[in-house]
A = this chain, B = another copy of it.
Amino acid sequence: MSEPPLTFSGSPAILIERLIAVVGEDHCLSRPEELFTYGCDGLTLDAHRPSVVVLPKSSQEVAAAVAICRELGCPFVPRGAGTGLSGGATPLFGAVVICCSRMGEILEIDAENRIAVVQPGVVNAHLSRAVADLGLFYAPDPSSQQACTIGGNVAENSGGPHTLKYGTTTNHVLAVEMVLPDASTVRLGSPTGFSPGYDLVGAVVGSEGTLGIVTEITVRLMAIPEAVETILAIFDDVPSACRLVGGIIRSGMVPAALEVVDQRTIRAVEASVYAAGLPTEAGAVLIIELDGAACEMEGQLARIRALAENEGVRDLRIAENAEERTLFWRARKGAFGAMGRLAPDLYVHDAVVPRASLPEVLEEICAIGDRYSLKLSNVFHAGDGNLHPNISFDRRDPDELARVLAAGREMLELCVRVGGVLTGEHGVGTEKRDYMGMLFSPDDLDAMRRLRDAFNPDGLCNPGKLIPTTRACMESNPKARGYDEVPLE
């Protein structure tokens, strides 16, 4: 089994000169102030300086850049928009960042077969906008969809509020073109949705940039549903909202989304530019979105009203038009931005528990936050059991930072204990790499390592991510989590 390589120790001057020959001087960044931006993704706690950043324009340029990195023995890391939350795009070991943001073209839209072919740098929300006139949309909708790229979504297998009905990115990717760590280019999958042989597209989606760099993606498009209803159910507390989620799913309905927003989040949102008119004294709001045939809506709304009344709902508001629907969603999609009001730093956790255990788990998570005296808020994909406990803090206070990390670990242990998993949609990256032993046996981790080594045998492609590097790391020693390797400044 390969261990990650040592930090790049070759000549940066030669590396830069060779890469400039491929992408041109304007698209090869090496000044410290340019490199700063690329030192981390949304997991800003963990930043490292890259050797160089290149911005290729084509698959051929990506392959040429990878070939140079291999030849000179320098690690490399693919990057999209850098909105990831688990450190997937963070350049460890002095890696070269290969940033695909200039590869932003929609190459083909085929309405009859309901597919689109895109470059990895296409922004998620732009694709749905481009196909809206055809009555189609691209279903995965991460909260960062106005900024994040489809290439990054493929790396992280991103989900979003509508995962409940529509699944995550892996359910929507039919084929990819990919530059492997040996600089060869392969095409995996098929636009027909059927592909003989191993499901390598399945293995690549969610591999967090450790198996190669995806340079073209064929995605499935969906028909825009005939009708959409968006409902706010306002509750006195989070467990009641969670119980309604269980009741709706048990009833057989599959809403497009079931999202819980707790009181602290409501208050932050209402004090911010995202204000949506939510009652700031409410304990929790459940956003319910239904979509489907227009004739189904009335009956489903009536069933939801009855179920909500059973759980003691305080108020039920139904969006009357598209503007009001957008307003309801602002409370959810603007939540992370609004939390900037609570403290300078935000740690967005991500874990999944069996849906039935949500009420107890949420109470326990709040108790952990209180025990560590932390500012905890919860906004989450309740229909999937996908939690996002968010901790607002100030990293300049070392004691608070230590409490943030310790509480996060306890929350993950709790989720795993009730039969859940470490991450739903943010990935493992550096953030949870050394927690993988909580969930997986050494044999399970060896199976992952074998898959990685099959594609990335010398470990140059996005090293230090996803899999603990040694058994010792599995003890989850925080010092081994990469925070103090090659620090930025």
Residues of B within 8 A of A441 (CB): 186-187
Scan residues 446-487 of chain A and give those whose CB is less than 8 A from a CB of chain B. 446-448, 450-455, 466-467
In whole angstroms, how far apart are the Cα atoms of A190 and B450 in the complex?
20
What is the minimal beta-carbon distance from A96 to any residue of chain B, in angstroms? Answer: 23
Q: Does A428 contact B (CB under 8 A)?
A: yes
Q: Beyond A170-B199, A250-B112, A436-B197, is A192–B353 a contact (Cβ under 8 Å)? A: yes
**Interface size counted on chain A using CB atoms at 8 A:** 76
What is the minimal beta-carbon distance from A162 to any residue of chain B, in angstroms? Answer: 15
Q: Are B198 and A444 in contact (CB under 8 A)?
A: no
Interface stretch, picked from A54-62, A74-82, A203-211, is: A203-211
Scan residues 156-199 of chain A and give those whose CB is less than 8 A from a CB of chain B. 157, 170-171, 180, 184-188, 190-199
Q: Are B199 and A385 in contact (CB under 8 A)?
A: no
In whole angstroms, how far apart are the Cα atoms of A328 and B440 in the complex?
48
Q: Are A448 and B113 in contact (CB under 8 A)?
A: no
Q: Are A443 and B296 in contact (CB under 8 A)?
A: no
Q: Does A14 contact B (CB under 8 A)?
A: no
Residues of B within 8 A of A195 (CB): 421
Residues of B within 8 A of A252 (CB): 135, 223
Q: Are A188 and B447 in contact (CB under 8 A)?
A: yes
Q: Does A202 contact B (CB under 8 A)?
A: yes
Residues of B within 8 A of A424 (CB): 192, 194
Residues of B within 8 A of A187 (CB): 441, 444
Scan residues 383-404 of chain A and give those whose CB is less than 8 A from a CB of chain B. 384-386
Q: Are A423 and B352 in contact (CB under 8 A)?
A: no
Residues of B within 8 A of A384 (CB): 192-194
Q: Beyond A205-B199, A356-B113, is A192–B385 a contact (Cβ under 8 Å)? A: yes
Q: Beyond A170-B202, A450-B455, is A188–B352 a contact (Cβ under 8 Å)? A: no
In whole angstroms, how far apart are the Cα atoms of A444 and B441 in the complex?
31
What is the minimal beta-carbon distance from A429 to any residue of chain B, in angstroms? Answer: 10
* Nearest chain B residue, comparing its CB with the CB of A187: B444
Q: Does A292 contact B (CB under 8 A)?
A: yes
Besides the contacts A112-B356, A192-B353, what 19 more A-B pairs have beta carbons closer than 8 Å? Answer: A113-B354, A180-B447, A186-B444, A187-B444, A190-B352, A192-B354, A192-B420, A192-B421, A194-B423, A196-B439, A198-B203, A199-B205, A199-B207, A200-B451, A202-B202, A292-B292, A292-B293, A292-B296, A453-B454
